[in-house]
A and B are shown apart, each in its own frame.
Chain A
Amino acid sequence: MIAAKRVSGCVVLVLGLAMILVPSVAVGQQAESDLEAREEKAFKEASAVVAPSVVRIQTVGGLDRVGRVLTGTAATTGVVVSADGFVISSAFNFVSRPSSVLVTLFDGRRFPAKIVANDRARMLTLLKIEADGLSVPRVAARKDFRVGQWAIAMGRTYESPLPSLSVGIISALDRIWGRALQTDAKISPANYGGPLVDIRGQVIGVLVPLSQRQAGRTAGVEWYDSGIGFAIPMSDILGTLPRLKTGTDLLPGLMGITLKAGDVYASAAIIDRVRFNSPAEKSGLKPGDIIASVDGQPIRRLVQVRNALGNKYAGDTITVVVRRDKASVEQKIELTGKLEPYTPTFLGILPTRKKPGEMANGVVVRGILPESPASVAMIRPGDRVVQLDETPVTDAAVLFDVISRRRVGEKVTVHVDRGGARQSLVAKLAVVPTEVPAVLESEFITAPDPKPADLPKTGRFNQNLPGHDQNFWAYVPENYNPARGFGLLVWIHPGSDTKEADIHDLWKPVCDERGLILVGPRAKEIAGWNLNEAGFIEAMVKHMQEKYNIDDQRIVLHGFSDGCRFAYHLAFKYRSLFRGVVASSEPLKLRPPENRPDLRLQFFLSCGDKDNLYRQVQQTRSRLAAMKFPVTLTSVPGDGHDYPPIPVLDTIGRWIEMLDRI
């Protein structure tokens, strides 16, 4: 009450001060600095107006590291969105999945908070505290946003009674597929979750890290304080608030199509694949359809499809118009949040490996895998597959592509040329088997005779990589022959022990038999791998591809113990490079990626059944299997946390041998 009196008494005083500020000073520089003083006053007032709605968030428990990002333990920020205790914040602030969340109001009152729901498209999290009469900020209307207007970012990280400020302008509207506006105010963990405020003291939006190239809560953090910051318009948030309050997460809406690769800004949006059981398929979209418009927005280039879908959630219904052989077809599609993972299909043949410069006309069968659809259909080694259903087959890549577009259980007619005679055999496609055959012939390779002068190094040697301050060791079989494609096995050593001698001795026979080249990159610090060394590994593989004839279907990462973490990271980062992962005695900590038909990835896990990690490795198998990746697990009876024994290595050799199976 007394306070109130004092307050009312002061208004006059404030006005008085305002007077001091207003007197019009001489034009030019004086006026300029006067304006800057007035603007400074306006910043402070606008932020003071919103301050009571900006809360401090502290978390307890949770992970200390999520992927590459070390999650901070500092206090973060949120904005009150309803008087009865709902607070919106950035999902980044809860990336560590804390066990307890605390909210401190402007006046210092502290409340435990519940995480109500997340918006996985706009990367927001809604909290609820048991409080009432909270101060809800005024909200700026989206239609009033202007590039160039003042934008004041507010945060609550610091141990200060006042929110922190950063002042910039609105840099752009409709960024990140239309989800956010962009500001050059300094945005960082110090104000993620806080409000972006206009000069009138209205909330423009809520600050979040975002990236248009990656998804996830930590995407875009690398741009903190760079003058590239994002805010989700508060008016949009209020629109989705009712759905969030019900406690259900909002997911980005998916159609279930992939588009033909091309110039994202110039090429038309042509559907390449339609995911099985996806909304797109149910609504009858077909490969080859050209997307003409989404919800009335005309689509002229690839990138516009994402721009049109960026703001759609699972459950939203969109109207898509496609052009199909000159006719224009309109479809209503209800988007989903989760797509059924793609299941790779399997015919069961091993294609003969093409020699460099060899003209391929069809695929000569190198071998048939036992009990496979191919063997049931009586396809034989030596047969030349020339056509599959209506599609002429020129080489293995084409055959794989056609098969990958069909579904498990479907019948396909395989047209083969057998000794000049054409035969048509019907096979029923199956899932890729997980067991490795006990016997599997490898192609017999002899060194070129005489050895050409320019034959690259063979045997065991160390190699530096130009432009990198890191090196690697390699073993190239003496029978290396540039006329044959060799597999590449990339050994990712565990922390504090490169195991070079052992690995070389154990793998040499397998490499010699199976035509594999073994490379062992060395971590900068012996203690273990740092994620930013990934570029070096990629460069090393590319270097080997230039020097040697490497069969790109058999480039495999192999890790043991904690080395596997980096191996997994590499496999998921460079999908187009690696075809297989051999992970021994280490579970998968990362979230497995989507299984892609065009970039296949297969896994071989091994673990001693006495290893403490054995159960987790088994869980890894089921996690990968759930994503429909072909995954094989070999357990070693009696072994603890040990490197796999020779028989297992032989199995791995056979597994790599059949990586190019179709």
Chain B
Amino acid sequence: MTNRVLTGLLGLVLTCVSFPRDVMGQSSVHTTIQRVQQRMVKVFGAGGIRRLHSYSTGFVVSPAGHVATVWSHVLDTEELTVVLADGRKVRAKVLNAEPQLDLAVLELQAEDLDLPSWDLEADSSDAGPGTRVLGFSNMFRVATGDEMVSVLHGVVAAKAPLATRRGAFETSYEGTAFIVDAVTNNPGAGGGVLTTRSGRLLGMIGKELRNAESNTWVNYAVPIAELKQPIQQIISGQYKARQREPDETEAKARFRPLEFGIVLVPDVLLRTPAFIDRVQPGSVAAKVGLRPDDLVLFVNGDLVQSCRVFKQRLGRIESGGVLKLTVRRGDKLVPVELPVPEKSATPGDNK
């Protein structure tokens, strides 16, 4: 069995483990909805100009009045207001935020609230494709005062990284997300929650994002498993914002195809395929039997869709390691391994 199948199996595991739990939670959807809605709040803050909405959603994570929500421009104000499920208006301030998770935790400026709130340990769950879900948010600011936030139904479409390419999205969140088949990510929906039909918390609805790979809006939620710890730490005041790891392309040596004896075809289009034009005699490329007209498809397992991407990937490989290439030769896929020469890191070297 290949690794892929194993991962496949693990994927299936997810699908299943979450499943019996939901069955045991025999509560009706209506009671689920009422229960969840009591734990949702409407957040009003900055924005309003140039179609930037000035509202979003949040969910109560402590009876004392801590609210988890999405980190966005809405919070960028002194005048932050939270409207509770029962219609009460309460002032709030940002306690702390984790931009890499698009997460912020608010503190309500009111005494002894004792709100119905989520128990991030007991109420959380996990799910895989096909699991029925509900999305709760104040999308489009439909609800005001004590009106309940909107509820959408759907299933988990996939649990996967938002995109395989860097910069596919304008979001700092790079982990796996619940992608759903309901249109959850609308204006103001950020900070809403995704739950199972029995009301178990799965994730926090994220910002509106357009998938740069398919140019479509995606509907997703950041798994609560990712958020649980930071939220609890922020509340207890022990949280330290994560260090963004430096862009690896800086740290690593920059390699160019020529250094392996590979000459690519002229890169004329935006997506010129990475066809090998010439192989320098005696080069490592020649030794492993690469030939002209071979099409480079994978670098260390990642698909390269053009000369440009191929060069970028080479720019990122570790020096002294092994470069795994898969080329298409006629109707065959041919894997080859090339030794990567030792080379000291030379940031900003553009030769």
Contacts and interface: CB of A to CB of B under 8 A. Distances in A.
A60 B231 CA distance: 42
B4 interface: yes
A73 B305 contact: yes
Interface stretch (B18-26, B64-72, B238-246): B18-26
Nearest to A104: B4
A114 interface: yes
B333 A63 contact: no
A102 interface: yes
B273 A61 contact: yes
A20 B214 CA distance: 41
A109 B306 CA distance: 22
A33 interface: yes
Interface string A12-51: 0000010011000100111011101101110110011000
Interface string A161-188: 1111111000000000000000001101
Contacts of A337: none
A3 B1 contact: yes
B272 A61 contact: yes
A60 B3 CA distance: 25
Interface in A92-138: 96, 99-100, 102, 106-112, 114, 130
Nearest to A40: B132
Interface stretch (A152-160, A396-404, A455-463): A152-160
Contact of A107 (B2, B26, B156, B181): B2
A133 B132 CA distance: 34
A209 B303 CA distance: 26
Given A40-B22, A107-B5, A112-B333, A159 B198 contact: no
A62 interface: yes
A186 B214 contact: no
B334 to A, nearest CB: 10
Interface in A460-486: none
Contact of B158 (A36, A58, A69, A160): A160
Contact of A162 (B1, B11, B216): B11
A190 B131 CA distance: 18
A418 B183 CA distance: 72
Contacts of A58: 303, 305
B166 interface: no
B305 A160 contact: no
Nearest to A129: B331
B305 to A, nearest CB: 5
A164 B272 contact: no
Nearest to A152: B130
Nearest to A99: B273
A167 B215 contact: no
Interface in A408-442: none
Interface string A481-518: 00000000000000000000000000000000000000
Contact of A108 (B5, B270, B295): B5
B21 to A, nearest CB: 10
A190 B214 contact: yes
Interface in B1-49: 1-5, 7-12, 15, 19-20, 22-23, 26-31
A236 interface: no
A158 B29 contact: no
B213 interface: yes
B23 A110 contact: no
Contact of B297 (A30, A48, A60, A224): A60
A225 interface: yes
A44 B11 contact: no
Interface string B286-302: 00000000010100000
Nearest to B25: A33
A165 B215 contact: no
Interface in B209-224: 211, 213-217, 219
B273 A60 contact: yes
Given A60-B295, A108-B2, A189 B214 contact: yes
A634 B74 CA distance: 57
B141 interface: no
A70 interface: yes
Contacts of A29: 27-28, 30-31
Contacts of B15: 44, 162
Contacts of A165: 129-130, 155-158, 181
A164 B179 CA distance: 9
A70 B3 CA distance: 34
A623 B209 CA distance: 41
Nearest to B27: A33
Nearest to A192: B214
Contacts of B29: 32-33, 36
B73 interface: no
B130 A44 contact: yes
B231 to A, nearest CB: 26
B346 interface: no
A72 interface: yes
A47 B7 CA distance: 18
B52 interface: no
B22 to A, nearest CB: 6
Interface of A: 3, 17, 20-21, 25, 28-30, 32-34, 36-37, 39-41, 43-44, 47-48, 58-64, 69-70, 72-74, 96, 99-100, 102, 106-112, 114, 130, 153, 155, 157-167, 185-186, 188-190, 224-225
Given A61-B273, A63-B269, 17 more contacts: A17-B20, A20-B23, A30-B28, A37-B22, A37-B197, A40-B19, A60-B271, A69-B215, A99-B295, A100-B328, A111-B333, A112-B333, A157-B214, A159-B160, A166-B155, A167-B181, A186-B181
Interface of B: 1-5, 7-12, 15, 19-20, 22-23, 26-31, 128-132, 154-161, 163-165, 179, 181-183, 197-198, 211, 213-217, 219, 269-274, 295, 297, 303-306, 328, 331-333
Pick the 5 closest A-B CB pairs, nearest first.
A108-B4, A29-B28, A74-B213, A61-B273, A166-B181
13 contacts: A32-B29, A47-B130, A63-B271, A74-B164, A74-B214, A107-B8, A108-B8, A112-B333, A160-B11, A164-B157, A189-B214, A189-B215, A190-B214
